[in-house]
Amino acid sequence: MKKLLLLVFVILFACQSDKKEKTNLKTQSIPQQILPPQPYFVDIKVNDVKLGKPAYGDWLFSHKENGQSFEQFVQTKHVVPTKEENIIYLQPIGKFNSLQVKQIELVRQYLQIFFQLETKVLNDVSNDIIPNRARRMGDMDQEQFLAGYILTDVLKKEKPDKGVALMAITEKDLYPKPEWNYVFGLASYRDKIAVSSMYRMQKEADFNLSLDRLLKICSHEIGHMFGLYHCIEANCVMNGTNSLIETDGHSIRLCSLCQRKLNSGFKYDNVKRLKELEKFFNENSLNEGSALMKKDLEKIKK
């Protein structure tokens, strides 16, 4: 566990970082000169919504983060796709009902659009892969899995073809260590692996709300794998969060700065990505996301 870089959602999603591990990542070369932002990023910046003053209980109220400029991003070692490693993989662990199976497929479709990288779902793995020593009963009599075991003893052994990121999705609740009640996710950025739980996302939530939460969590988590820090510039899917209420209030959209960071290594067509995201949100009745993409498209058409 000492080698793992924990992504611990404090009570829910609180992300932690280990700066030492970042030095081990496969990286893009650091450019000698940082060029001004492309017109696309300037155009959509007007749609960025500035964060308000943090209130008690908010992530930034208790975590005084410095953020990450574009210059800091490109000068920090981080994973970028290559011809040899350019596929995102999802590994379902557990026994999923029909609605959960549908959500996992929609997460796959979304991540493929969001990162403009091929995304595949591996065959389901049975819960039997988790031994008794990595299980316990939670405070609500729900079964919980030790998240770190899934990383070190399940995912780390997998080497999917051309994989650049591997995320497990489980229907069981997770815990990171005995003294913690639960977590939603855990990750090792160095090993490019992570696990997220659907369990609490779906409690007392309709299909679309739980899907919206999953899309935010998975894109946020994998965004970290590609070098994005928590965003403090605008309401953004890369904002840190302490609770489901705070998560629900955060945008599913990457702000203009975070989009610029991601695109710097990926070199995808920004407008194509935006149109595909709008189509996805429309087809799945995710109205807030659709409206955000429409606003960005309107700005770049002028």
46, 69, 103, 261 from 41: Cα distances, Å? 9, 14, 31, 10
Amino acid letter at 184? F
The pair of three-digit structure tokens given for residue 294, joined into one six-digit string: 């429409």
Widest Cα–Cα separation across the chain:
59
Q: Contact, 182 vs 137, CB < 8 A?
A: no
35, 164, 217 from 32: Cα distances, Å? 10, 26, 34
DSSP secondary structure code for residue 127 in this structure = G
* Cα distance between residue 284 and residue 262, in whole Å: 25
Q: Which of the following is catalytic: 85, 143, 179, 221?
A: 221
Q: Contact, 214 vs 198, CB < 8 A?
A: yes
Q: Contact, 120 vs 108, CB < 8 A?
A: yes
- Catalytic residue check, 221: yes
* Cα distance between residue 223 and residue 46, in whole Å: 22
- 193, containing H or E segment: strand 193-197
The pair of three-digit structure tokens given for residue 260, joined into one six-digit string: 């610029």
Strand, coil or helix: 54: coil
Q: Contact, 6 vs 180, CB < 8 A?
A: no
Q: Contact, 111 vs 188, CB < 8 A?
A: no
Q: Contact, 107 vs 120, CB < 8 A?
A: no
Sheet-wide strand order for 185-188: 118-121, 87-93, 163-170, 193-197, 185-188
User: What residues are annotated to the active site?
Assistant: 221
